Structure 1
Amino acid sequence: MALSEFSLQYVPQKAVKGQALADFLAHHPSLYNFGGNDIKIGMVETRNNYWTMYFDGSSTSSSTGAGIVIQSLHHDRWHFSLKLDFDCTNNQAEYKAIIIGLGIIHDLRVTRAFIFDDSELVINQLNGSFRCMSCTLAPYHMVASYLTEFFNGITFEHISRIHNTDADRFA
């Protein structure tokens, strides 16, 4: 309403030719399988197979953090260590780590992933084996469940703490 006194006119931005072509190809996948299912995006290559992600969250009286380790099909590994700037429980830190990790692998255009963590509660809630009854975890659970819908195949698996040492160290 404040701007109605001015005569403003909306003019859409002209598309850059390269971006228009990329957008077209992204929205119209080929019906033919030319050269396999490999897609190269920058330095990341995805295939119709599973990537792996390990995550862990940690909350102490002095600090809260999240650790994420992502491994591609070619065994390239990316390590993420994040300090969370709010107080939360261990389970909330675990959920925050999975939410950030799912966002990262989604941005990498990963379609299938095995997700590993040592928190039996969080993994079983995401698998649907346990119901999320905690009002403090419910918002995190909803966001994580929503993010899983962007993947064609995603599997959550509980592992022992000794098999999750990298993500634990970064958390």
Structure 2
Amino acid sequence: MATPLLPLSYDGNPNRPPYPTEFALKLEPRGAIKTQALADFLVEMTSPLAEDTWWVLYVDDFSNPKGGGVDIILEGPRDVTLEHSLKLDFKASNN
């Protein structure tokens, strides 16, 4: 039969540890985060974007006897490029 290493004597008091200890420990709930501290943390940890960071959208359409579609290219800061082609399910023309 195994015996526990530390006898448990939990009486439901959240400020008292559930095991005997030689130290005077007092457990306290964590306090609320102050609004200004949270705002300061967000300002410190986020990197500001430069004023001239623009996204550029290019759209090119095409049609042929089999149907039509659209090519879309989106270029952003830091060499981000997104490309997508769409097939149109309706009759389209270049006019």
More strand as a share of residues? 2
Q: Same fold (TM over 0.5)?
A: no
Range of TM-score over shorter length: 0.3 to 0.5
> Which structure has the larger Rg over C-alpha atoms?
2
How does the TM-score come out when normalised to structure 2? 0.44
More helix as a share of residues? 1
Structure of greater relative contact order (alpha carbons < 8 Å, 6+ residues apart): 1
